[in-house]
Amino acid sequence: QSALTQPPSASGSPGQSVTISCAGASSDVGANSYVSWYQQHPGKAPKLMIYEVNKRPSGVPDRFSGSKSGNTASLTVSGLQADDEADYYCSSYTVSSNLVFGGGTKLTVL
Amino acid sequence: EVQLLESGGGLVQPGGSLRLSCAASGFTFSDYTMTWVRQAPGKGLEWVSAISGRGDITTFNTDSVKGRFTISRDNSKNTLYLQMNSLRAEDTAIYYCAKALLRLRDGCDYWGQGTLVTVSS
């Protein structure tokens, strides 16, 4: 199972919006609506930000949103804040009943 | 409050074995799929294995741990385990246990702080 493809880095200024892509295949991202996004600050455990493509767990600001088109999912962070600077990982459930993660995107708030 | 506390990591020689544990509290443990995810130093997340709430269904990242790792759980002790055999240098990573929202496909809403496994001679 190949890892999902994410850009290694993304950046934006405070208040701006940034979108991170997550490219998969018809056997994972394209196969269902089970794409999740995680935020990880240095030295910390990952935190669930989005699940089932576009749902937010309780406590996650609505500045974070998710979408999917075909084999590619996206995470958009609006109104960038300094604390949004972190690594972001997508994951997808696969047709083999496994999970696959993306390689991660380092988001820098300029 | 949901808490997940991993233990059992450490330094082990190539070819050796380790058993990781994850003590869970704050939720009905047997109702949820649990999973192990690892992160090599400076690298991304890699899913390792998952087990259903009743422990009757297990799945593995066959590409990386096939036949070497075994996942299990003791619902009477609210504890998740990962038995790791025939360890290789590439298994060196922080190992996180995580609770699924309900099932593996739903995503993981709570994570432990991780336990470091170092495979080296």
Mean pLDDT of B37-61: 95
Of B50, B106, B114, the CB nearest to A52: B106
pLDDT at position A84? 97
pLDDT bin (cut points 50, 70, 90) of residue B66 is: confident
pLDDT at B113 over 80: yes
A104 touches chain B (CB under 8 A): yes
Structure tokens at B27: 């939720």
Those residues whose C-beta lies under 8 Å from the C-beta of residue B42, and which sit 6 or more positions away, are none
Q: In this predicted model, what pLDDT tens digit does every residue of A68-103 receive, in sequence order?
A: 999 999 999 999 999 999 999 999 999 999 999 999
pLDDT at position B62? 80
Are A10 and A104 contacting, i.e. CB atoms less than 8 angstroms apart? no
Q: In this predicted model, what pLDDT tens digit does every residue of A27-75 receive, in sequence order?
A: 999 999 999 999 999 999 999 999 999 999 999 999 999 999 999 999 9
Mapping DSSP to helix (H, G, I), strand (E, B) and coil, where does residue B63 land? Answer: helix
Are B57 and B51 contacting, i.e. CB atoms less than 8 angstroms apart? yes
- Closest C-alpha to A59, from A74, A44, A47: A47
Q: In this predicted model, what pLDDT tens digit does every residue of B78-91 receive, in sequence order?
A: 999 999 999 999 99
pLDDT bin (cut points 50, 70, 90) of residue B72 is: very high
Give the span between the Cα atoms of B94 and A46, in whole angstroms.
12
Residues 37-56 of A with CB under 8 A from B: 38, 40, 45-48, 51-52
Give the span between the Cα atoms of B82 and B22, in whole angstroms.
9
Of B44, B59, B107, the CB nearest to A104: B44
User: Could you tell me which chain A residue has the CA closest to the CA of B64?
Assistant: A1
pLDDT at A1 over 80: no
Q: E-assigned strands of B1-121? A: 3-7, 10-12, 18-25, 34-39, 45-51, 58-60, 69-74, 79-84, 93-100, 108-111, 115-119
User: Could you tell me which chain A residue has the CA closest to the CA of B96?
Assistant: A45
When scoring B6, B45, B59, B99 by the number of chain A Cβ atoms within 10 A, the one with the most, hence best to mutate, is B45
